[in-house]
A = this chain, B = another copy of it.
Amino acid sequence: MENSEILKKFLQNLQQVPYLASKNLFKVASHFLEMEKDKAEFFCATLLKMKDCLVKCQNCFVWKEKDSDCVYCKRDQSVICVVETWQDMLAMERAVEFKGAYHILGGAISPLDGVGPENLNIGSLVERVKKNYIKEIILALNQTPEGEATAAFIANRLTQASSAQNHIIQITCLARGVPIGSSLEYLDKLTLNKALSERRPF
């Protein structure tokens, strides 16, 4: 059974799906095998239709329906929250009452993975800043070496662009410190150091 060419091909396809442990691939294949044929066809039709209908907004790079306007680009465009991925944006939307706009970079600068600034939506962010009146850019990148390097790179580019136009933009980042619900004894050294050096009045 494990020799079936078509099963092998499907397993190879499944292998590329993120967050599926390889030990579960056979179980997922089994799920699709046991499924009624019309349900499998519906699954595929939905998948392909979704790919057809959804496009990235060319202003903020959030996925939107092809024939409708981007809901985020209708919001306050003077504050832009810059995030690495769509999932990060969704996490922000779920957690906070943010009324501004977004800009999705599509990842972080990572020379080891061959991702340079030209592979990310950084140029279009600078263009947005040049063309529109923007008060604040929130750099909500991940707290990883790549995220921090990317944030520094963007902050630099934005400062150059805005000073060339004599228009000062506030560039902020998310507060760093002790996460809510955590015990100090389990916290990493870097976070504790940051939390101490950036302490604030009680």
Residues of A within 8 A of B (CB): 1-4, 6-7, 9-10, 13, 16-21, 24, 26-33, 35, 37, 40-44, 46-51, 53-54, 62-65, 71-72, 85-87, 90, 93
Judged by DSSP, the binding face of A is: helix
CB of A101, distance to nearest CB on chain B (Å):
13
Residues of B within 8 A of A43 (CB): 13, 47
Q: Is the CB of B62 within 8 A of A47?
A: no
Contact (A50, B33) CB under 8 Å given A42-B13, A43-B13: yes
In the bound assembly, the distance between CA atoms of A40 and B31 in angstroms comes to 19
Taking CB atoms, residues of chain B closer than 8 Å to A4 are 53-54, 63-65
B13 touches A19 (CB 8 A): no
Minimum Cβ distance to chain B for residue A4 (Å): 5
- 9 CB contacts below 8 A, A to B, read A4-B63, A4-B64, A13-B42, A13-B43, A16-B31, A18-B24, A19-B20, A30-B86, A37-B51
The docked-state distance in angstroms from the alpha carbon of A2 to that of B87 is: 11
CB < 8 Å neighbour of A50 from B10, B17, B21, B54: B10
Question: Closest approach, in angstroms, between the C-beta of A53 and any C-beta of chain B?
Answer: 5
Chain B residues with Cβ below 8 Å from A42 are 13
B24:A28 contact, CB within 8 angstroms: no
> Which residues of the partner chain B approach A27 to less than 8 Å between Cβ atoms?
18-19, 87
Identify the closest chain B residue to A35 (Cβ): B51
Do residues A50 and B7 form an inter-chain contact, with CB atoms below 8 A? yes
* A17 contact from B31, B51, B71, Cβ within 8 A: B31
- Across the interface, A31 reaches (CB within 8 A) one of B2, B18, B21, B65, namely B18
